[in-house]
């Protein structure tokens, strides 16, 4: 059984540093020092605009390299582009990462994403708070107003009365790769401007799937994540934000090398909706399904709701969904998490296997009715 647990650490507990015995169950711990949750994940994405390709211009070098043939461009391995890529990325992102303190003494992190005072964070960090203390990288502290939060996606927004802030670059068009380098910045245990590094362990990872609950598509990492990192930045080696750190899967209550971050495209879209006061309703496909025990992986459709996007697109019972929006589907949890990553009204491509033949369908997602 997997439980969801948010931990709070009082001032007295922080002084004593007394931790409870390790639970003999699997716990998905959302760790934010005092206020709840933590999370961190790392990604890496090459940027063709960055240094990394060296042209051979010396004639003798060209002759040696080509055996007398036409000159060629020699592409250097991307990890040789800089002597200290992690340090370079940290230098870029650190001014954009802030520490947050809630009225109950909780500590989390945030990322400036708009120079006119807007800050991304995790929803559970600011849950129940109208204001927070925002501490910038130079030590200045101001009062920030909580614009709102989307609990299911774990994304929140804070606004401060400042302009000209150092906004982070958001990698909205990047596609993270498993195994790529990534850097996380936040305030674990209240230690501001702490940098850790790791790799992307998985992308499009479906987590938080519970009966009657929701599934979320997340970035997974082995980076060291601890309480206070929640809401902090997950960046690539160029300092571009790839995700907002929110949670870890742990047996010990601290970093066990399995962390999660909300992909930045999802986080930014929700932030824009929060600021604009728009609906946060989830997308709805209109099917019920299950995993398959043998054979090709996918989500086996067991029921199609009438007058839904799935019904109108021609989805049938016994169809095996293997892809949605270009993302491979391994089971029903993958399908659910990918549907929820879109806005209602979005049109997506759906690939199903029907009687052994792949069929391409186009579905317009509906809106999930609130309970």
Q: Which residue stretches of the chain have pLDDT < 50? A: 1-80, 211-212, 371
Query: Is 296 in the same domain as 244?
Result: no
Query: Is 106 in the same domain as 156?
Result: yes
What sign results for the dihedral spanned by CA atoms 236, 238, 240, 246?
positive
* Residue 70 included in any domain: no
Residue 19 pLDDT = 34
Residues 338-367: pLDDT tens digits?
999 999 999 999 999 999 999 999 999 999
Pair 110, 164: CB distance under 8 Å: no
What sign results for the dihedral spanned by CA atoms 59, 60, 64, 69?
positive
Pair 95, 166: CB distance under 8 Å: yes
Query: Is 246 in the same domain as 323?
Result: no
Q: Find residue 184's DSSP bridge partners.
A: 196, 234
Pair 217, 149: CB distance under 8 Å: no
Query: Is 89 in the same domain as 187?
Result: yes
Q: Find residue 196's DSSP bridge partners.
A: 184
- Report residue 281 CA to chain centroid gap: 19
Q: Which of 251, 8, 253, 206 is nearest to 124 (CA)?
A: 8
* Residue 59 included in any domain: no
CATH number assigned to the domain comprising residue 359: 2.30.42.10
- How many Å apart are CA 244 and CA 270, to the nearest integer? 12
Pair 325, 349: CB distance under 8 Å: yes
- How many Å apart are CA 248 and CA 23, to the nearest integer? 15
- How many Å apart are CA 152 and CA 3, to the nearest integer? 16
Residues 230-243: pLDDT tens digits?
999 999 989 999 99
Question: Where among 260, 280, 300 does a domain terminate?
Answer: 280
How many domains, in total, are found in the chain? 2
Query: Is 96 in the same domain as 198?
Result: yes
Query: Is 218 in the same domain as 150?
Result: yes
- How many Å apart are CA 291 and CA 297, to the nearest integer? 8
Query: Is 247 in the same domain as 270?
Result: yes
Query: Is 223 in the same domain as 339?
Result: no
Q: Find residue 367's DSSP bridge partners.
A: 283
* Residue 124 included in any domain: yes
CATH number assigned to the domain comprising residue 259: 2.40.10.120
* Residue 358 included in any domain: yes
Query: Is 299 in the same domain as 237?
Result: no
Question: Where among 245, 280, 315 does a domain terminate?
Answer: 280
Domain with 266, as residue range(s), is 1-48+81-280
* Residue 338 included in any domain: yes
Query: Is 254 in the same domain as 324?
Result: no
Place of tokens 């203390």: 133
Residue ranges of alpha helices (H) inside 43-166 are: 59-66, 85-93, 123-126
Query: Is 154 in the same domain as 275?
Result: yes
Residue 21 pLDDT = 36
The CB density around residue 203, as the number of other CB atoms within 10 Å, is: 18
Residue 82 pLDDT = 57
Query: Is 256 in the same domain as 111?
Result: yes
Residues with catalytic function: 124, 154, 230
* Residue 55 included in any domain: no
* Residue 87 included in any domain: yes
* 269 DSSP assignment: H
Question: Where among 252, 280, 308 does a domain terminate?
Answer: 280
* Residue 17 included in any domain: yes
Residue 260 pLDDT = 92
């Amino acid at each position: 059984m997997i439980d969801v647990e948010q931990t709070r650490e009082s001032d007295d507990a922080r002084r004593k540093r007394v931790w409870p015995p390790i639970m003999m169950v699997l716990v998905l711990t959302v760790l934010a020092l005092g206020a709840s949750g933590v999370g961190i994940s790392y990604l890496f994405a090459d940027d063709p605009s960055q240094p990394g390709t060296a042209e051979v211009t010396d004639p003798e070098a060209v002759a040696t390299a080509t055996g007398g043939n036409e000159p060629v461009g020699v592409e250097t391995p991307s990890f040789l582009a800089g002597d200290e890529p992690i340090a370079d990325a940290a230098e870029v992102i650190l001014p954009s990462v802030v520490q947050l303190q809630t009225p109950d003494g909780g500590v989390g992190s945030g990322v400036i994403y708009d120079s006119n005072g807007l800050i991304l964070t995790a929803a559970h960090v600011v849950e129940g708070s109208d204001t927070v203390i925002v501490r910038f990288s130079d030590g200045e502290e101001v009062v920030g107003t909580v614009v709102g939060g989307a609990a299911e996606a774990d994304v929140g927004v804070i606004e401060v009365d400042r302009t000209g802030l150092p906004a982070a670059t958001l990698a909205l068009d990047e596609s993270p790769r498993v195994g790529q380098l990534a850097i996380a910045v936040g305030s674990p245990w209240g230690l501001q401007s702490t940098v850790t590094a790791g790799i992307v362990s998985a992308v499009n990872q479906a987590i938080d799937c519970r009966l009657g609950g929701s599934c979320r598509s997340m970035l997974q990492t082995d980076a060291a994540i601890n309480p206070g990192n929640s809401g902090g930045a997950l960046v690539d080696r160029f300092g571009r934000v790839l995700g907002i750190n929110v949670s870890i899967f742990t047996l010990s209550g601290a970093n066990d090398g399995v962390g999660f971050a909300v992909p930045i495209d999802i986080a930014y879209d929700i932030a824009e909706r929060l600021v604009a006061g728009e609906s946060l309703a989830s997308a709805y496909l209109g099917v019920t399904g299950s995993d398959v025990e043998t054979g090709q992986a996918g989500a086996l459709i067991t029921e199609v709701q009438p007058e839904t996007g799935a019904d109108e697109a021609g989805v049938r019972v016994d169809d095996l969904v293997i892809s949605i929006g270009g993302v491979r589907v391994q089971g029903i949890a993958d399908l659910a998490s990918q549907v929820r990553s879109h806005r209602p009204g979005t049109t997506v491509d759906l690939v199903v296997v029907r009687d052994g033949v792949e069929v391409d369908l186009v579905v317009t997602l509906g809106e999930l009715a609130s309970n």
